[in-house]
Amino acid sequence: MTTQAAPPQFSVFMPQMRMDMATIEERVRAAEACGFHKIDLMDHLNPPLLSAAPMYDAFVTAAAVAAWTERVRIGHMVLCGQFRHPALLAKMVVSMDHFSGGRFDLGIGWGSVPDELARFSLGDEPPAVRAARLRETLEVVQALLTGELMNYEGRFFQLHDAQQQPTPLNGHIPIVIGGAGRKLTMPLVRDFADWWNCPVYGMAELEELLPLSGNARLSVQRAIGLAPSSAARDEIVATAQRRFGDWALVAGTPDEVASGLQADREMGAEQFVLQFSDFATPETLDLFATEVMPAVA
């Protein structure tokens, strides 16, 4: 008997920048109404390459998303491990888990914008050090989330007779780790991740990388330029290319976008994290849900 694959999951990546809270709320509510599985936010102290642009805090915005919704999961693409001590991070994560009714995922990385870390005096360390620090962060967070008394002696963190309550509502908070580096990132994926968000550049090496990912499920991040008609196609595609370049971009009519995502699906992608070129207007979300989701599923 053949087992049918589960339908893919679709997340809206909604960086909380250059939009006021009312606009974010409108689009989050629209995403849930349209059947998207998740909302992913970002985690920076100022937007990359747009340091003067307004942007809201990652966890405050996540709490707002939880209050505005009932079903969608909530996470980040991704939290920066350098920003928070693991004891503080564990407390924030389990608080979000309870506030959202068990709908929070811990998406985390070791810091992809070194200039940001230096600018805000958060360490000017090489990638190998930041990756090692993230490993300890995840070890400490996982230990604290058990609710048991724990001790930890690491290179970066030392905890003695440490204990935190409450524990996660469902016993476990899913962990999402992104990247494709064989030496620094993939060992973290193998050892900690429920989901591996493979960057588009990693898809060309997917056959070699998959054995390094352990039991993590495959997620892919894509930029989307979705045209409502053939007449609007060229303008929408040009705007998306100006905004994103060609990296990770899938653009065109609903049929073209579905075809592009289906190619990732055939390579094993179970989840798509999607950043829309028009900042996820309700009209575009509805069009995607109506015409693209069923074609990819």
pLDDT of residue 269 exceeding 90, the answer is yes
Where would I find the H helices in the chain? 21-34, 58-68, 86-99, 114-119, 127-145, 186-192, 200-203, 206-209, 230-244, 254-266, 282-287, 293-296
- Asked if residue 145 lies in contact with residue 170, where contact means CB atoms within 8 angstroms, the answer is no
Angle between helices 127-145 and 86-99 (to 10 degrees): 50
State the fold for domain 1-71+216-297.
TIM Barrel (3.20.20)
pLDDT surpasses 70 at 4: no
pLDDT tens track for 153-164:
999 999 999 999
For the chain, where do the domains classified as CATH 3.20.20.30 start and end?
1-71+216-297
- pLDDT tens sequence across 71-87: 999 999 999 999 999 99
Strands 158-162 vs 150-153: parallel, antiparallel or unpaired: antiparallel
The per-residue pLDDT for range 33-56, each reduced to its tens digit, is 999 999 999 999 998 888 888 999
pLDDT at 108: 97
Say whether pLDDT at 5 is over 80: no
Report pLDDT digits (tens) over 190-249. 999 999 999 888 888 988 999 999 999 999 999 999 999 999 999 999 999 999 987 789
pLDDT at 114 over 70: yes
Indicate if the pLDDT at residue 2 is higher than 50.
no
Torsion of CA 286, 292, 296, 297, to 10 degrees: 40
Of residues 89 and 204, more confidence is placed in 89
Instruction: State the greatest distance between any 2 C-alpha atoms of the chain, in Å, as a whole number.
Output: 65
